[in-house]
Amino acid sequence: MAKLLLPHTTTAQRLAATPLKREILYDTDLDKIFVGDGETVGGVESGIREEPGPAGSVSAASGLTLDLVSEPATPDPNKLIIWASALDGLIYKKDENGIVEAIGTGSGGGGREVLTADRTYYVRPDGNDSNYGLTNDSGGAFLTPVKARNACRKIDGNGYSVTIKFADSTYNISDSIEWSGFLGIPKLYLEGNPTTPANVSIEGVSGIAPSIGMFSFVGCNVEITGFKFRNNQTNGQCINVNNGSSVIFKNNNWAGAANTSIVLNSGGYCEQVSNFTISGGGSQYLAIHPFSTVMWTRSLICTVSNTPNFSLRFLYMGQSSINWIPSIFQFSGSATGKRFHVEGNAVLNQYGLPGNLPGNIAGTQTTGAVIT
């Protein structure tokens, strides 16, 4: 049993103040639990009553006692559910939209586990999302990438990095996973199989929304190593780098996307730092939208295999920039389609060196675009 000792107040006392965000109060007059949101006078009623049940009961003398349970289902409209997690012993709340937030540790704390060292989570095809994710075996690893993402959202990194390691398997993505909402995590590492990326496949399947990446990064700093990415669903995309996110790619295999493999928006930044492979085509491989930047300035080779076709072009740029040194960042192999289209004051900086992107049709540029 996990016991949460709550401050006891009368209704008059409770309504005389505005509880802080995540502060929990027990109103002895109403026999109800209230949760502070930092704005509502007296707090927000939680819905817990003095009645038996697997999720807990109220003791008038000693506070609220909660059983350690798995994450419950999303509550009905206008309801809020509170439970003690069997995974970590922390107290969480879930609203009618399914949004989960840690609200307390039983001693007035903020509810998040605060890291004191770098953390590694594991994802395996024989794992279980009821596990902690902290050991690389079937009894400890998570089953799905989204559960690992959720675990990262529930901790305070406290300046320590987090790594998510994926075991060899195919991970089918039917709903885009947004990587965002991390606290105190300076860098997130997603690691597949650095030696044989094709062994860890991230695959778009029926149900995934069109024109959005299987993985969408929003305002975070990420390094991605050793995966094969493919999304051949309607208007499928593999990776979106959004809202100032920085993504480093190492030794990945890009197996194609119906729309675009990598899309940058709103100040996104990405860089290739090791050799990689492009083994599948699509409408385009890389699209760099306004105020975003790509760096191709390291000495490495991109192997283009299977003669992929890019029906629009290999590279699109609009009000963005790419720094590419063709003499050291080289493409090996052939593809078909237009090499590039540059428009809207975008800058393709080749440092004055001749370079050919994959494709067999010359690239195009509009007035205002610059190729140096």
* Dist. CA 262–CA 193, nearest whole Å: 20
Q: Which one has a higher pLDDT value, 149 or 44?
A: 149
What tens digit of pLDDT does each residue of 94-138 get? Answer: 777 776 666 554 433 346 888 999 999 999 999 999 999 999 999
What does the block give as tokens for 191?
A: 């690691």
The 3-state DSSP class for residue 197 equals helix
Count of beta carbons in the 10 Å neighbourhood of residue 22: 20
**Please, which contacts does 234-237 make with residues 24 or more away whose CB atoms are closer than 8 Å?**
234/210, 234/258, 235/210, 235/211, 235/259, 236/204, 236/208, 236/210, 236/282, 237/211, 237/212, 237/213, 237/261, 237/263
Q: Is the separation of the CB atoms in 78 and 112 below 8 Å? A: no
pLDDT at 371: 95
| Position 255, amino acid | A
Structure tokens at 274: 């090791």
In which residue are the tokens 């502060």 written? 23
Residue 13 scores a pLDDT above 80 = yes
* Mean pLDDT, rounded, of the chain: 87
What is residue 41's predicted lDDT score, i.e. its pLDDT? 86
What confidence tier does 11 reach under pLDDT thresholds 50, 70, 90? confident
What pLDDT does 110 receive? Answer: 47
Structure confidence at residue 366 as a pLDDT band (50, 70, 90): very high
Q: Which of 73, 71, 51 has its CA nearest to residue 60?
A: 51
Average pLDDT of the residues in 181-193: 97
C-alpha torsion 243→249→253→255, nearest 10: 10
